[in-house]
Structure 1
Amino acid sequence: MPLPDRSAAPGRVAMVSVHTSPLDRPGTGDAGGMNVYVLEVARRLARAGTAVDLFTRTTSASQPDVVDVEPGIVVRHVAAGPYEGLSKEELPGQLCAFAAGMMRVAAHAPRGYYDLVHSHYWLSGQVGWLAADRWNVPLVHTMHTMARVKNLHLAAGDEPEPRGREIGEAQVVEAADRLVANTEREARELVDLYGADPERVAVAEPGVDLEVFTPGDGRAARRRLALGEDAVLLLFVGRIQPLKAPDVLIRAAAELVRRDPSLRDRLVVGVLGGASGAGVRTPMGLDALAESLGIGDALRVVPPVDRATLADWYRAADVVAVPSHSESFGLVAVEAQACGTPVVAADVGGLPTAVGDAGLLVDGHGTGPWADALGRVVTDADLRASLSARAVEHARGFGWDRTADRLLEVYRAATDRPKDVSIHDAERLSGIPWAVIP
Structure 2
Amino acid sequence: MRVAMISMHTSPLQQPGSGDAGGMNVYIASTARQLARKGISVDVYTRATRPSQGEVVEVEPNLRVVNIVAGPYEGLDKEALPTQLAAFAGGVLLFARCAALSYDVIHSHYWLSGQVGWLLRDVWRIPLVHTAHTLAAVKNEHISAEDSPESEARRICEQQIVDNADRLVVNTREEADNLQRHYDAAPDSITVIPPGADTELFTPGTERATERCRRELGIPLHAKVVAFVGRLQEFKGPQVLIRAVAELVRRDPQRNLRVIVCGGPSGRSATPEQYRELAEELGVARRIRFLDPRPPEELVTVYRAADIVAVPSYNESFGLVAIEAQAAGTPVVASRVGGLPIAVADGKSGRLVGSHEPGDWADVLSELLDDDDTRIAMGEAAVGHAAEFSWPRTATHLEDLYRAVTAHAPERCYSRRAAG
Normalising TM by the smaller chain, what interval?
over 0.9
- For 1:395, the equivalent position in structure 2 comes to 386
Task: Check the 8 A contact 1:120/1:143 in 2, yes or no.
Answer: yes
| Structure 1, gaps ≥5 residues long | 1-10, 433-438
Q: Aligned with 2:3: secondary structure?
A: strand
Task: Check the 8 A contact 1:182/1:328 in 2, yes or no.
Answer: yes
**TM-score of the superposition, structure 2-length normalised?**
0.96
C-alpha deviations, 1:187-210, integer Å up to 9, x for none? 111111111111010011110001
Task: Check the 8 A contact 1:183/1:350 in 2, yes or no.
Answer: yes
Q: Which of these residues, 362, 373, 380, is aligned with residue 382 of structure 1?
A: 373
Determine if the alignment matches structure 1 residue 243 to structure 2 residue 245. no
Determine if the alignment matches structure 1 residue 330 to structure 2 residue 319. yes
Taking the aligned partners of 1:17 and 1:125, their CA distance within structure 2 comes to 9
Report percent identity of matched pairs: 53
**1:276 positional shift:** 0.3
Taking the aligned partners of 1:143 and 1:378, their CA distance within structure 2 comes to 36
Greater alpha carbon shift after TM alignment, 339-348 vs 351-360: 351-360
Task: Check the 8 A contact 1:137/1:419 in 2, yes or no.
Answer: no
Consecutive aligned runs of 4 or more in structure 1 exceeding 6 Å deviation: none
Residue identity in the other structure for 1:60: R
Q: Which of these residues, 14, 27, 40, is aligned with residue 37 of structure 1?
A: 27
Give the RMSD, CA atoms, in angstroms: 1.4
**1:356 positional shift:** 2.2
Equivalent residues in 2 for 1:17-416, closer than 5 Å: 17-110=7-100, 113-216=102-205, 217-263=209-255, 266-280=256-270, 285-357=274-346, 358-416=349-407
Taking the aligned partners of 1:310 and 1:19, their CA distance within structure 2 comes to 24
Residue identity in the other structure for 1:363: G
C-alpha deviations, 1:136-175, integer Å up to 9, x for none? 1000000000000000001111100000000000000111
Taking the aligned partners of 1:54 and 1:88, their CA distance within structure 2 comes to 19
Q: Aligned with 1:202: secondary structure?
A: strand
**1:417 positional shift:** 2.5
C-alpha deviations, 1:382-434, integer Å up to 9, x for none? 1111110110000001110111111112212211223423676233xx2x5xx
**1:378 positional shift:** 0.7
Greater alpha carbon shift after TM alignment, 415-424 vs 343-352: 415-424
Task: Check the 8 A contact 2:128/2:413 in 1, yes or no.
Answer: no
**1:288 positional shift:** 1.3
Decide whether aligned partners of structure 1 residues 284 and 412 sit closer, same or farther in structure 2, where only a CA change above 3 A counts: farther
Taking the aligned partners of 2:7 and 2:108, their CA distance within structure 1 comes to 7
Q: Aligned with 2:76: secondary structure?
A: coil
Q: Aligned with 1:371: secondary structure?
A: helix
Task: Check the 8 A contact 1:242/1:284 in 2, yes or no.
Answer: no
Taking the aligned partners of 1:115 and 1:58, their CA distance within structure 2 comes to 24
Task: Check the 8 A contact 1:242/1:279 in 2, yes or no.
Answer: no
Greater alpha carbon shift after TM alignment, 215-224 vs 117-126: 215-224
**TM-score of the superposition, structure 1-length normalised?**
0.92
Task: Check the 8 A contact 2:163/2:417 in 1, yes or no.
Answer: no
Taking the aligned partners of 2:99 and 2:410, their CA distance within structure 1 comes to 21
C-alpha deviations, 1:367-387, integer Å up to 9, x for none? 111001111111100111111
Q: Aligned with 1:22: secondary structure?
A: coil
Q: Aligned with 1:240: secondary structure?
A: coil
Q: Aligned with 2:148: secondary structure?
A: coil
Residue identity in the other structure for 1:322: V
- For 1:5, the equivalent position in structure 2 comes to none
| Structure 2, gaps ≥5 residues long | none
**1:279 positional shift:** 4.3
Q: Aligned with 2:64: secondary structure?
A: strand
Taking the aligned partners of 2:154 and 2:84, their CA distance within structure 1 comes to 14
**1:106 positional shift:** 1.2
Task: Check the 8 A contact 2:164/2:416 in 1, yes or no.
Answer: no
Task: Check the 8 A contact 2:368/2:375 in 1, yes or no.
Answer: yes
Decide whether aligned partners of structure 1 residues 283 and 424 sit closer, same or farther in structure 2, where only a CA change above 3 A counts: farther
